[in-house]
Amino acid sequence: MDSLITAVEETAWAARDLADGAKTAFEKGNEGVRSAGTNAAGFTDDVARTTETGWMLARMAAGYRLHKLRSAFVSEARSEEILRDLHDRSARRFHDVSAKHGGAFMKVGQLLSARADVLPEAWIRELAKLQDAAPPVAWENINATLEADFGGPITELFPKFDEAPLAAASIGQVHRATTATGREVAVKVQRPNIERRVRIDLELLGAFLDSLQASLPDVDYDTIVHEIRENVLAELDYVREANTAGVVAKFFNGHDRIVVPAPIAELSREHVITTEFVAGEKLTVALDALEAQAASGDPDARGRLSDILGTLLEAYLRQVLEAGVFQADPHPGNVLVTADGKVVLLDFGCAQVMSPETRARYLGLLRAFMEGRTDRMAELFAELGFRTKSGRPDTLNAFASALLGEMRQAALGKGISWPNGDQVAARVNGPLHACKDDPVVSLPGEFVMMARVFGTLGGIFARYKPDLDFTRHMLPVLGTIMFAGE
């Protein structure tokens, strides 16, 4: 009876909070529409879009908040069945609206699609479809953006320009072109009016999360939401993106296996980025083909697959630990594999820059972990801005061990073993219990994106289970860290 009364009481308050949250979402969304200064047709379209997306979020929030009440009247098994159905319906709704309207909904969906460690299977299955779901923008609209940015017809700059895009994403789309000097390039053009729509969507998504936050685990959502919001907005700044891509391209210039297409400054503008064109296959397409060849008896295919993924890991270790700037969106569409096995990193709209002091602390943290110095790890966790509810570092140490344990095993010459599903559950169980007993209540901003990167890579590696060559791909990066003194 006490449980039933508590469930009803909590649901009553949840309903009030939900109503407040939905009202706030609509107010913020429509305020954004009104302040955007669009014409009457654009205003009408944006209000209709905001209404549909806001209502979708409100229905999802209602479903999850009211599930607790229903659970009080059914068995545990039936409650789990209802929750699975709720996940299926909610994920489909989010996918359908995101695919239809794009904007921040599609971008956030793409970000979350690689986080099988965070979301239920139904959500991962539906959100994965958003990786290639962005509808292309009509050529006349793309051409209008190009002419506005370059101040006239583009035929003199690009005598050949393919009207059909190579790829269409949530923020922009990429076309292949040839310059007046005969150079093949990739031209990334921002979607018209995308900034206004992204800002409206972020207000709606923020209000949606606020309405659910009381039902979610106790973690530092403020930092997580802030970092995702800032990084999504940063993708609208093509000048910043071109500068970041230029820094990383220069860093990897001359590397024999890692390629970052360099931006061409004279052919880039506020809404346009032009880079050298590099031909290649999408990462998962190349890996799937090699996996099939290995299954058919090709003795070299498995080695080539492992080398590609080892090179990808090296690319991110070098960005984080050496360059201090990294591409923070390594989903398969942003990584190509060339015919000769080189790894190509694309799209630096979502990127993270670390100060030299911050990078040095992460280097020290990795070194302390490799050496088993938990006291030094505790000091560095605090200096970086990690904090648990109790102030003790036990939860942080448990997560460090889960995340980096395989790397330490490889450094000790014991190789990397890829766990099966039961083993993964067993390994994750300890950190989850630790987090429940003593949650992490404060995270440094850059770690949110770093965890996203290595969480995404971890999912890819767990899928293909490469035979990583520690000596070739990791030791050159980690050697100086492991053997240098502080």
Q: Which of 203, 169, 175, 207 is nearest to 188 (CA)?
A: 175
Give Cβ neighbours of residue 229 (< 8 Å, ≥ 6 apart): 202, 206
Termini Cα distance of the chain: 60
DSSP three-state, residue 214: helix
Which residues have a Cβ under 8 Å from the Cβ of 125 and sit 6 or more positions away?
91
Active-site residue among 46, 220, 329, 438?
329
CB-hemisphere CA count at 13 Å for 310?
22
Rounded distance between C-alpha atoms, residue 398 and residue 306, angstroms: 28
CA–CA distance, 391 with 28 (Å, rounded to integer):
37
| 241, containing H or E segment | helix 238-252
Distances (CA, A) of 410 to 144, 146, 407, 478: 53, 49, 5, 11
For 291, residues 6+ apart whose C-beta sits below 8 A from its C-beta are 301, 305, 464
List C-alpha distances in Å: 447 to 151, 238, 240, 452: 41, 23, 21, 8
Which residues 6+ apart lie within 8 Å of 459 measured at CB? 114, 115, 116, 117
Handedness of CA 414, 403, 453, 282 (dihedral sign): positive
**CA dihedral angle for residue 44, residue 48, residue 53, residue 58, rounded to 10 degrees:** 120
Both structure tokens of 240? 């910043």
Known catalytic membership, residue 329: yes
Do the beta carbons of residue 263 and residue 246 sit within 8 Å? yes
- Beta-bridge partners for 326: 352
Distance CA 294, CA 305 (A): 9
Cα 336 from Cα 283, distance rounded (Å): 5
Which string of DSSP letters, residue by residue, matches 4-68?
HHHHHHHHHHHHHHHHHHHHHHHHHHHHHHHHTT--HHHHHHHHHHHHHHHHHHHHHHHHHHHHH
Catalytic site positions: 329
